[in-house]
Structure 1
Amino acid sequence: MAARTHLDRLANPETWSTTLAGILFDLDGTLVDSTAVVERQWWTFLDWYGLPAEAFPEPLHGKRAEDHIRGLLPDDQVADAVARLSALEATDIAGVTAVPGAATLLDAVAGVVPWGIVTSGTYEVATARLAAAGLPTPGVLVTAEDVRAGKPDPEPYLIGLERLGAAGPVVVFEDAPAGIRSGREAGCPVVAVTTSHPAADLAEADVVVPDLTAIALTAPARDDSAVLTAAR
């Protein structure tokens, strides 16, 4: 893992600050609140295949549907099951909303530093949920189709870093332990939000905040960077 020597802690222990040149966000649980929707869809999925309640995946967020399904069904059924669930996820979007502070933060980021999304969901599902939440779809959107190994493997965020092409440090925003590990193994500092997991489960992150209302982005410190501050 790359050394994170660019991190700075302010004198005030209630805040954390870093200079950055780009941001990569997870989607579900980080930018959009889809937990109730995803739970509904997974109960439907279990019913389709006659699976017991004990098969309900925990935790839901942080891993690709394919990775969950591989532990539930024979290999020859996985591809069709993933496609079937993805189709449901892309159309059943009632109840998907933006996480508090998401729209404001994305407005602040736009035009200041490059940003993108790295999600365990498919492209179709990601764009549908962003639209339902009233959030923009970025030019850099890494989805389940783009990777061979999902989170917690670093591949998703390594692809995101390559596509983002930022000139300096990139901060990752996550809500799940698997995503935090993926971002850190890709060499990025990680800000975690407690929207789907308790703070104790997110201890590997550099800083943990309740939601995105705790984040502020100031005017660029240089032409290619900005300063991000998180209130703990």
Structure 2
Amino acid sequence: MTIVVTAQALLFDMDGTLVDSSAAVERTWRRFCARHGLDPAVVLAGAHGQRTAETVAEHAPPGTDVAAETAWLVAQDIADTRGTVALPGAAELLGQLPGDRWALVTSAGRELAERRMAAAGLPLPEVVVTADDVRRGKPDPEGYLRAAARLGVDPRATVVFEDAELGLRAGRAAGGWTVVVGPHGGDAAVGRPRITDYRDVACVGTGDALRLTLPVRLPAPVPA
């Protein structure tokens, strides 16, 4: 099924949406869990889409210096980009977009975002909103609202690409038209269009708007 959408700008999450960094992310969190005697399955289940400091605060043993542990984790992430690759078709799609018509909105910090995008061979847009730029992380819509404002567009006229529950909730709360990237099946994905990757996704400029063609899978039905 192919659908055509008109938008003023496209807003992308990074990890799992443009970049497959799952191997590096898992290695880092497993190191963290080994340091503190935690179950990696439990920590990894909630870490995706959440800022590192929030995950540390949620799972670290009482008395842990959250700021110091967060800094250690970020340093681990920055140093380890092995296996980080772009999702199929992502580079081609981004190459079609005017630089002032798309933004990156990620729960990673700025340095890590730069490292992972470079490792995946993807360009950075003019507008990048990271964990360093917001007071409240996803699912709060602050990041997406800030990106739309910096692009000078109405957030309700944006398409938001996300792969995780927290990010999808953030995009919807900001007013964006959300597209699920990958297999996530949480509540925020119900009824939303879904793409596996960016192969066969096309975008062309039409005056002050973008015309986006998406080869989507049918959205999941809304539960009765």
Query: If the length of structure 1 is used for normalisation, what is the TM-score?
Result: 0.85
Give 1:199 deviation, angstroms. 4.5
Give 1:136 deviation, angstroms. 0.7
Q: Does 1:116 align with 2:103?
A: yes
User: Is the Cα contact below 8 Å between 2:105 and 2:128 reproduced in 1?
Assistant: yes
Q: List aligned pairs for 1:77-156, cutoff 5 A.
A: 77-110=65-98, 114-156=101-143
Match of 1:34 in 2: 21
Give 1:133 deviation, angstroms. 0.5
Q: Distance in 1 between matches of 2:18 and 2:122?
A: 8
Q: Structure 1 residues 54 and 227 mapped into 2: Cα distance closer, same or farther (>3 Å)?
A: closer
Which of 190, 194, 198 is the equivalent residue of 1:208? 194
Please list every run of at least 4 consecutive aligned residues from structure 1 whose deviation after the TM superposition is greater than 3 angstroms: 52-55, 197-202
In structure 2, the residue corresponding to 1:57 is in which secondary structure?
helix
Q: Does 1:159 align with 2:146?
A: yes
In structure 2, the residue corresponding to 1:83 is in which secondary structure?
helix
Aligned residues: 214
- Farther off after superposition, 63-72 or 167-176: 167-176
Equivalent position amino acid for 1:147 in 2: V
Q: Distance in 1 between matches of 2:96 and 2:141?
A: 27
Match of 1:231 in 2: 215
User: Is the Cα contact below 8 Å between 1:192 and 1:202 reproduced in 2?
Assistant: no
Equivalent position amino acid for 1:180 in 2: L
Match of 2:48 in 1: 61
Match of 1:20 in 2: 7
Q: Distance in 2 between matches of 1:204 and 1:125?
A: 31
User: Is the Cα contact below 8 Å between 1:115 and 1:140 reproduced in 2?
Assistant: yes
- Farther off after superposition, 128-137 or 207-216: 207-216
In structure 2, the residue corresponding to 1:58 is in which secondary structure?
helix
Equivalent position amino acid for 2:29 in 1: W
In structure 1, the residue corresponding to 2:124 is in which secondary structure?
coil
- Once the two structures are superposed, residues 191-217 of structure 1 have per-residue CA deviations (whole angstroms, 9 ceiling, x without a partner) of 1111xx444665246311111114211
Q: Structure 1 residues 155 and 75 mapped into 2: Cα distance closer, same or farther (>3 Å)?
A: farther
Q: Alignment identity in percent?
A: 43
- Farther off after superposition, 162-171 or 173-182: 162-171
Equivalent position amino acid for 1:108 in 2: Q
Q: Structure 1 residues 61 and 52 mapped into 2: Cα distance closer, same or farther (>3 Å)?
A: closer
Equivalent position amino acid for 2:158 in 1: V
Q: Structure 1 residues 167 and 158 mapped into 2: Cα distance closer, same or farther (>3 Å)?
A: closer
Q: Distance in 1 between matches of 2:26 and 2:98?
A: 32
Q: Distance in 2 between matches of 1:32 and 1:205?
A: 24
Query: If the length of structure 2 is used for normalisation, what is the TM-score?
Result: 0.88
Q: Distance in 2 between matches of 1:119 and 1:192?
A: 15
